[in-house]
Amino acid sequence: MLNIIKNWSIKSKLIAILLIVSIFTLVFGGSLSVYIEITSKREEFARLSVTQAKLLAEYSVSPMVFEDKDGATEVLSKAMSLDNLSCVVLLNMNGNVFTSFNLKSPENIIKNLKFDYQFIGKTLHVKQPVIYNDKLYGYIYLVADTTSIDEQLVDYIKKTILFTFLILLIALFITYQLQKIVSVPIYQLAEITKEISVKKDYQMRVEKKGNDEIGVLYDNFNLLMDTIQIQQKIQNEAESDLTEMTKQLMKHNNELQRFAYITSHDLRAPVVNLVNLLNFIEKDDLNEKNKLILDKIDISIQQLNNTLHELIEIVSLKKNLDDAKEIINFETLLHEITTGIEKQIEESKAEIKADFKIKEIFYIKSHINSILLNLLTNAIKYRSSERKPTIFISTELVNNYVCLKVADNGLGIDLNKNKRNVFGLHKRFHYNIEGKGIGLFILKSLVESLDGEVDVESEVGQGSNFIIYLKCEIK
């Protein structure tokens, strides 16, 4: 019942509550009134009948003392003229009938009836002693018909029910009018709230019409709207600033990319020409001082050439971020990569093992190819001379990521010193082995460009385990 009422409107709840209280009060009051009326009428009728019985007992003293049955019968016949009496009996002191008038009650009822009175069905039975000079001569027994008071009580009950029904109708009307004081303001507040949620107009306010709890609710609602409006203004300003900053950043980024592209390609040809011109110079014709200068020029040109190669690789990375995704099979990809670096694998005698629990991935192929190729060539390049290189590649599902792991038993990295720099640009950890220090930087950029993550576990002399979390759709 309570669960049903919970889903009612405020209006219905208020009407229901007030009606329930009104009905309970009226029914209880009406019932109590009827009960009091019935009790009062019956007691009044009983008192009247007992009084009549006592008078008859006094009039019957003489016939009973002298055992005058005719005189007793005459007294009883006159008593029958009284209203509501249907039977009068005069009993001797042994309880036997001395004389009677219109006797219908069984004698066992007469004998067993207590003094005073008793209601039996629609009749009232009254029994009073006939006493003279403190001596008992018999009893007067009379039966009164209660039909008249029963009719009066039925009429009273009908009037009470009709009156109660009319009061309920009036209460319903008053309840309907009074509930508006509470329900209408709440309904108006609900409608305004709904309109605000649809139109997103936080300038709307409700007009306070009182200082009661609803008035306080209106004040708090308007205060909330003020707060939301201020926050909305701050948010709009922040979004506007963010949009402008985004435009500026995109503009600067595009300019930087154009600059890097132009620089890398425009400088490429002059650097190549310098390298070729240096190769034409005969060092044997130069003195020692010029040879030294030429060697330094050669070193500088090689450094510039390497820097241009790195810049071209990074520019190429940025250009490939918009490549389309496709379904890639890990086993097929690994076969293609190992075929391309077959010579390095043979020379290092590396053993490559794979366990692909996730067989395929929906990803940019150039990205995943670059990631796996970089990790494989690094594992071969930084292998330990003390043991045969072993590389283990695996994939599994971790939450919503495809986890690609590439573990080796190579030289390892001291993470206590270099944890924060592992994926940094131009960061190298084994200077006795040739490298540029951009491979892991590019790898991290590729993964994070598509909302992925990278991690590494490594120990010097034991090997490394690179963990790549690829955010993508699994096919």
Residues 6+ apart with CB under 8 A from 343: none
Q: CA-to-CA distance for 267 and 262, rounded, in angstroms?
A: 8
Average pLDDT, stretch 45-71? 86
What does each C-alpha distance from 425 to 41, 50, 76, 377, 406 come to in angstroms?
A: 110, 121, 134, 18, 21
Taken in order of first residue, the domains within the chain and their CATH numbers are: 2-166 (3.30.450.20), 323-471 (3.30.565.10)
Q: If you compute the radius of gyration of the chain from its CA atoms, what whole number of angstroms results? A: 57
Least confident of 190-199, 208-217, 318-327, 434-443: 318-327
What are the respective helix, strand and coil percentages of the chain, to the nearest 5?
60, 20, 20
Model pLDDT, residue 111: 61
Residue 306 has pLDDT above 70, yes or no: no
> Residues of the chain with pLDDT > 70: what percent?
80
Question: Residues 129, 61: contact at Cβ < 8 Å?
Answer: no
Q: In this predicted model, which residue has the larger pLDDT, 297 or 113?
A: 297
Model pLDDT, residue 121: 83
Q: Is 6 in a helix, a strand, or coil?
A: helix
Model pLDDT, residue 316: 58
Question: Residues 312, 438: contact at Cβ < 8 Å?
Answer: no
pLDDT digits (tens, 9 = 90+) for 379-403: 888 888 889 999 999 999 988 899 9
Q: CA-to-CA distance for 86 and 49, rounded, in angstroms?
A: 12
At CB < 8 A and 24+ separation, what contacts does 464-468 make? 464/379, 464/382, 464/407, 464/408, 464/410, 464/412, 464/413, 465/405, 465/406, 465/407, 465/408, 466/375, 466/405, 466/406, 466/407, 467/403, 467/404, 467/405, 468/371, 468/403, 468/404, 468/405, 468/406, 468/443
Q: Is 122 in a helix, a strand, or coil?
A: coil
pLDDT digits (tens, 9 = 90+) for 168-194: 888 888 877 877 777 777 777 777 788
Model pLDDT, residue 354: 92
pLDDT digits (tens, 9 = 90+) for 338-382: 988 888 888 888 999 999 999 999 988 888 888 888 889 888 888
